[in-house]
Structure 1
Amino acid sequence: MTSQLSGSLSAKQRFVAPVVRLAPGLLVCATVAIAAQFLSDHYGAPAMLMALLLGMAFHFLAQEGPSASGVAFTSRSVLRFGVALLGARISAELMMDLGAETIALIVLAVVATILFGLLAARLLGRGWRLAVLTGGSVAICGASAAMAIAAVLPRNAQSERNLIFTVVGVTALSTVAMIVYPIVTAGFAMDDREAGIFIGATIHDVAQVVGAGFSISEPAGETATLVKLMRVTLLAPLVLLLSLSLRSLATDASGKRPPLVPGFVLGFILLAGLNSLNLIPEVLAATFVDLSRWALLLGIVAVGMKTSLKSLKDVGAAAIVLIVAETLFIALFVAGGLHLLG
Structure 2
Amino acid sequence: MTPTTTAAASAAARLWPGLLVCGLIALAAQFLSDHYGAPAMLMALLLGLSMHFLVEDGQRSAPGITFASKTVLRLGVALLGARISFEVFAELGWGVIALIVGALLATVVVGFVGARSLGRGWRLAVLTSGSVAICGASAAMAIAAVLPRNEFSERNLSFTVFGVTLLSTVAMVAYPIVAQALGLSDIAAGVFLGGTIHDVAQVVGAGFSVSDTVGETSTTVKLIRVSMLAPFVLILTLVMRRAGLAEVTGGKAPPIVPGFVLAFLVLAIANSVGLVPAAVQSVLWALSKWAMLTAIAAVGVKTELKRIAQIPPQSVVLILAETLFIAGFVLLGALWLF
Give the TM-score taking structure 1 as reference length.
Answer: 0.96
Supply the AA of the counterpart residue of 1:289. Answer: W
- Give the Cα separation in 2 of the matches to 1:250 and 1:311: 25
Supply the AA of the counterpart residue of 1:81. Answer: L
Question: Runs of 4 or more off by more than 3 Å in structure 1?
Answer: 8-11
Q: Which structure 2 segments of 5+ residues have no match?
A: none
Supply the AA of the counterpart residue of 2:166. Answer: A
Q: Which residue of 2 aligns with 1:3?
A: none
Of 37, 43, 54, which aligns to 1:44? 37
TM alignment of 1:181-220, pairs within 5 A:
181-220=175-214
Supply the AA of the counterpart residue of 1:175. Answer: T
Q: Which residue of 1 aligns with 2:229?
A: 235
**TM-fit CA distance, 1:15:** 1.6
Q: Does 1:275 align with 2:271?
A: yes
Fraction of identical pairs, as percent: 60
Cα displacement string for residues 95-126 of structure 1 (whole angstroms, at most 9, x for unaligned residues):
11111111111110111111111111111111
Q: Does 1:111 align with 2:108?
A: no
* 2:188–2:335 contact (8 Å) kept in structure 1: no
Of 126, 131, 135, which aligns to 1:132? 126
- Give the Cα separation in 1 of the matches to 2:316 and 2:246: 27
Cα displacement string for residues 143-180 of structure 1 (whole angstroms, at most 9, x for unaligned residues):
00000000011111101100000000000000100110
**TM-fit CA distance, 1:252:** 4.1
* 1:136–1:145 contact (8 Å) kept in structure 2: yes
Of 79, 88, 93, which aligns to 1:94? 88
What SS class does the counterpart of residue 310 from structure 2 fall into? helix
Of 28, 47, 54, which aligns to 1:54? 47
Supply the AA of the counterpart residue of 1:279. Answer: L
- Give the Cα separation in 2 of the matches to 1:99 and 1:9: 56
- Give the Cα separation in 1 of the matches to 2:203 and 2:302: 29
* 1:154–1:249 contact (8 Å) kept in structure 2: yes
Of 254, 261, 268, which aligns to 2:257? 261
Alignment size in residue pairs = 335
**TM-fit CA distance, 1:235:** 0.4
**TM-fit CA distance, 1:244:** 1.1
- Give the Cα separation in 1 of the matches to 2:150 and 2:240: 14
Of 290, 296, 307, which aligns to 1:300? 296
Q: Which residue of 2 aligns with 1:70?
A: 64
Cα displacement string for residues 247-295 of structure 1 (whole angstroms, at most 9, x for unaligned residues):
3322344232111110000000000000000001110011000000000
TM alignment of 1:240-255, pairs within 5 A:
240-247=234-241, 248-255=244-251
Q: Which residue of 1 aligns with 2:11?
A: 18
Q: After superposing the two structures, state which structure 1 stretch, 221-230 or 241-250, moved more.
A: 241-250
Q: Which residue of 2 aligns with 1:32?
A: 25
- Give the Cα separation in 1 of the matches to 2:77 and 2:4: 31
Cα displacement string for residues 35-65 of structure 1 (whole angstroms, at most 9, x for unaligned residues):
1100110000000000000001110112231
- Give the Cα separation in 2 of the matches to 1:11 and 1:208: 44
* 2:191–2:217 contact (8 Å) kept in structure 1: yes
**TM-fit CA distance, 1:11:** 3.4
- Give the Cα separation in 2 of the matches to 1:112 and 1:141: 16
- Give the Cα separation in 2 of the matches to 1:75 and 1:259: 20
Q: Which residue of 2 aligns with 1:331?
A: 327
Cα displacement string for residues 313-337 of structure 1 (whole angstroms, at most 9, x for unaligned residues):
1221000000000000001101111
**TM-fit CA distance, 1:310:** 0.9
Give the TM-score taking structure 2 as reference length.
Answer: 0.97
* 1:87–1:269 contact (8 Å) kept in structure 2: yes
Supply the AA of the counterpart residue of 2:11. Answer: P
**TM-fit CA distance, 1:338:** 1.9
* 2:14–2:63 contact (8 Å) kept in structure 1: yes
Q: After superposing the two structures, state which structure 1 stretch, 191-200 or 242-251, moved more.
A: 242-251
* 1:155–1:250 contact (8 Å) kept in structure 2: no
What SS class does the counterpart of residue 96 from structure 1 fall into? helix
Of 162, 166, 177, which aligns to 2:171? 177
